[in-house]
Amino acid sequence: MNLDDTIVAIATPPGRGGIGVVRLVGPDAKTIALPMLRLKHDLEPGMAIFGELIEPEPCGAGAPARERAKSDSTTQSGTTPHGSRLEAAAPSPQRIDEVVVTYFAKPHSYTTDDIIEISAHGSPVVLRHIVELALARGARLAEPGEFTRRAFLNGRIDLAQAEAVRDLIESQTLYQAKVAAQQLEGALSRRLQPIKQMLVELIATLEAGVDFAEDDVSVLPADQILERIAAVRQPLQDLAGSFTYGKIVHEGLTLAIIGRPNVGKSSLFNCLVERERAIVTATPGTTRDLVSETVAIGGIPVKLIDTAGIRRALDEAESIGIRKSMEALADADLVLVVFDCSQPVTSEDQELLAQAERRPAILVVNKTDLCSSQFSVVSSQLPQVRTSAVTGEGIPELRVEILRYIAGETGVQAETGFLTNARHQALVHNSLTALAGAVAAVHNRVPHEMLLLDLYSALRPLDEITGATTTDDILNLIFSSFCIGK
């Protein structure tokens, strides 16, 4: 990729809005932008200057052309009755829009290049015209993610931080945005740094022993090598374990609400959604199809799925709905199994419970406003929450139980720098696999030259997370998923 040319793109989302921003990045950003602008003040780094977007003169029509125009006008202007000559004023460039222009001087910018941002009214026609003017004066249209890619290639951010930019843009909840902002600040990179440092120090020690064996440089005994490998493995295993929570933070959670007809599934669904989303009637079997809605619970996007009541179907439409319910049960990350405590437990309840116990599930004892507190469902595995969709009793406790499942037993939500990216998870797993091979090599008394191969194989994936060693193919894959203008 050519880092010496100047690129341009619209940096705001497609469509109409109050403001639209066009970003110019590269060594000629000022040279390209200034002819299309009439500014109140000269550009200063870090300052927003009010001005006008004007129709510039064609490229190549500089001062000589203006002088010729002035001379021609003077020749044709004639004289006044008193004999003095009339001077014809040069026509003023036509104004297109009012703009605010911000200049970021290298190296103190997002990409470390010169950056000009032109904020105009959010008319697609005006924004496209600014881009066309820039292209006509020598700029190149930016590719998806090229601004952030330049920031990475210029050493402004590492690869994990670059990927966090995309995560921040795609955030659906405030908590997701906060996590992405932590990653953008380098939380994951800081967590990896001491792990990599310990591994590099071990490699350096063993390399010294191999290279200078004839100089009596001491080589670590096997027990010390194993101890130092263990010091690297443990934090990596903790990091790998954070992916279960991080994946849910990044992608969200699918939660299916299942149970027999008329146990209050749709009412419970509406309580969690906090609006009347699903139809609720006293007639069993009202819900025939899956009804879904995504809500934020504790900052985590949770896709709630209300399902048809599971029983022996009375017609073909209900049969299809029940089949979809069973599919939702199989595909969901978490299942709420709902029981009606005002009715005795049936064999259908027990069969449903047996299926749910094979998956992560929470047992919900609903309609507590209609039954005594003595009702219980025998289950040695599932946590139970008592609720009333009518009074709202137990709904906050149910949300807490859902969050407890998300966080797991590790309390990883209190940490920073956890894994949210499948690519990072795969690389950490590769590093752990190589470290396991190194441990086996030590036990088998393999020469240190061979042991070092395993240690280097453990280091390379960690470098790929931050981008210290990354192929162009991986970079193309990552940045092609970015939006144009970022």
Cα angle: 60, vertex 66, 68; to 5 degrees: 105
**For 274, phi and psi rounded to 5 degrees?**
70, 35
Taking the C-alpha atoms of residue 411 and residue 399, their distance in angstroms, rounded to an integer, is: 17
- Asked whether the predicted pLDDT for residue 159 surpasses 50, the reply is yes
Residues 6+ apart with CB under 8 A from 445: 222
Question: Which range, 130-134, 271-275, 361-365, 405-409, is most confident?
Answer: 130-134
- Asked whether the predicted pLDDT for residue 339 surpasses 50, the reply is yes
pLDDT-derived band of residue 310, with 50, 70 and 90 as boundaries?
low
- Asked whether the predicted pLDDT for residue 329 surpasses 80, the reply is no
Taking the C-alpha atoms of residue 175 and residue 410, their distance in angstroms, rounded to an integer, is: 19
Q: Which two tokens stand for residue 69?
A: 């125009």
- Asked whether the predicted pLDDT for residue 72 surpasses 60, the reply is no
- Each residue's pLDDT tens digit, 354-374: 877 778 888 888 888 887 666
- Asked whether the predicted pLDDT for residue 273 surpasses 70, the reply is yes
Mean pLDDT of the chain: 81
**For 97, phi and psi rounded to 5 degrees?**
-160, 160
Report the SS3 class of residue 278.
Answer: coil
- Each residue's pLDDT tens digit, 95-111: 889 999 999 999 999 99
Residues 6+ apart with CB under 8 A from 163: 183, 421, 423, 478
Report the SS3 class of residue 139.
Answer: coil
Residue 268 has what pLDDT? 87
Residue 290 has what pLDDT? 75
Closest CA to 401 of 356, 352, 364, 358: 364
Among the residue ranges 91-95, 99-103, 310-314, 395-399, the one predicted with the least confidence is: 310-314
Among the residue ranges 148-162, 255-269, 348-362, 415-429, the one predicted with the least confidence is: 348-362
Domains annotated on the chain, with CATH: 7-159 (3.30.1360.120), 169-242+417-467 (1.20.120.430), 258-407 (3.40.50.300)
